Structure 1
Amino acid sequence: TEHIIHSNDWPEIYLAVCGLKYPANGFKDLAFLISEGFKEGDLSPEKFLIFFDNTKKAEHAIQWLQKQLPKSLQDKIKYFHSTMTQSYHEDEFQALKDSDTWGLCSTDAFGMGMDLPDIKLIIQWKATCDFCMLWQQFGQEARQTGQTAVALLLVKQKDTDDARKKK
């Protein structure tokens, strides 16, 4: 058996930084994940992970996102953080892997050792982590050769290039 280990150098991951358009204490900037008027039978979104700096934000985001879905589909988006049991982590990892879950709102608890080759979108909600952790989180996607994905860093508007140019 031959094992090939890749570093976090993933040229298949497209990086983007976007300023939040809505107040940071809400989650309307995540509305693009679920099309308006989404109903049962519509094409499901691509698999995604959203990283937050704490469990409360992850849980508040999940509540907002679930409200965008019909009641019968609200279990398609879940949270994943360190206060959950090992059994919960294993079950939710498998549900995402099997496409039973569309996306997770997570803390860095979903990190090293979690290998899902078909994640299409990773979002970091206002980076409060260091660059190494951010890159580790972004490296969770596009793990199959030839597959592409998007890593999106959402920042406060004041932290964008456009805002800095206006100063």
Structure 2
Amino acid sequence: MESIQAPGNRISKSYIRVQRIAGALWLAGEVFVLAIIYLLARNFHWYAWIDWFLYGLGAVSVLYAVWSIGLAPMLMQRYWRYDVGEEFIQLQHGRLIRSNQLIPLTKVQYVELGQGPLLRSQNLFRIEIGTMGSQHVIPGLSEQEAYRVRERIAELARIKEVEE
């Protein structure tokens, strides 16, 4: 039996900035909601324990911000790997909890390129690969790489492009 080589292609380093912006926006939303609840608690003289609870949530939010804005994007970019072979697509991510997926090309039903506002700001794309039972995503690819990977998957999986 032939051994399967680990995938070697990485996602773009620009994806770190996208993840940091997303984390900062999420943190801003959390701080806004916590501030509103805190002001309501102060103005309507809610129980004193609510203030302490909100302080605790604020501390947890700060720790989560350090993780989601500072560390997680770099680790994600460092450990996310993908590869498209003749028989399957291989996705590998995670360091502590490693996930290694093999997607048979015979099971691929569609390949879709996606680009939201944050990805568009860095000229990046995400590829969604659909099979009968699930969807798989390769995040943060440059435009040229995304089109190249999509065309290769479509060619190997024999997916026909639908004309509109």
TM-score normalized with structure 2 length: 0.25
- Larger strand fraction of residues: 2
Higher normalized contact order (CA 8 Å, seq sep 6+, divided by chain length): 1
Report which of the two structures shows the higher radius of gyration computed on alpha carbons: 2
- Larger helix fraction of residues: 2
